[in-house]
Structure 1
């Protein structure tokens, strides 16, 4: 497998490591969207969050919880983002959590600004989606 994040986790590629555990690692993004943009990844290769073991999931999000305090001190506001699969915008097929320091002057807007053609759903459609998601 030729996964850049696996190589970073194995220290085959240098990175600016902020912290790490036996199961996860946090480091500065090499192509930051803002100053302090940090990635937190599991050391084991998983493409999607739901593929992770409970132990790796818990460790990853404990690391996110620990690191976000540090990143948040830069601007006082941090966007957390996970692209879960290629169609969601995931460019590297390895679970990674973005911690992106935000401020009003970055003009990035809220997550809702990413979607230009948002669906207009009726109450019945919402009920149908609710039932489908809840029962699966």
Structure 2
């Protein structure tokens, strides 16, 4: 089930290009277009769900298991020392489709508090990051 006009539903449906990192029957993970740090991944359910409280019970375990795998992948594939994982529910939720952020972190990376400075990828760089993460997830 998708929602007309939802950018994440369009990515799930293959109508909007994205650098996919992980796909299951129920979930899709892809690189954020404007990452906090390169390798910043968004995990979404294929079904249009707006907030975490709306996530059907049968998707809770697969959603969290995929998040765990992505946390491991950013360390193994990108050399991060850890990750920052977050979900916004309504407030500060730029796309009204549940999405979990997995942001690679390294001590001294400059991120402080809840200020999320955004970056851009150089040409071809996004595809390289996605490939590295996919490789770590295989």
TM-score of Structure 1 vs Structure 2, range by shorter chain: 0.7 to 0.9
1:49–1:57 contact (8 Å) kept in structure 2? no
Give the Å deviation of 1:33: 0.9
**Root-mean-square deviation over aligned CA pairs:** 1.5
Deviations along 1:1-41, one digit per CA (max 9) or x if unpaired, are 20000011111111111111100011111111101101111
Does 1:41 find its partner at 2:44?
yes
- Quote the residue 1:123 is aligned against: none
> Is residue 97 of structure 1 aligned with residue 100 of structure 2?
yes
**Partner residue, 1:83:** 88
User: What does 1:1-136 align with in structure 2 at a 5 Å threshold?
Assistant: 1-73=4-76, 74=78, 75-85=80-90, 87=91, 89-109=92-112, 113-114=113-114
Distance 1:9 1:20 in 2: 9
After TM superposition, which residue ranges in structure 1, 4 or more long, deviate above 3 angstroms? none
Deviation at residue 72 of structure 1 after TM alignment: 2.1
Number of equivalent positions: 110
Greater helix proportion: 1
Structure 2: tracts of 5 or more residues without a match: 116-138
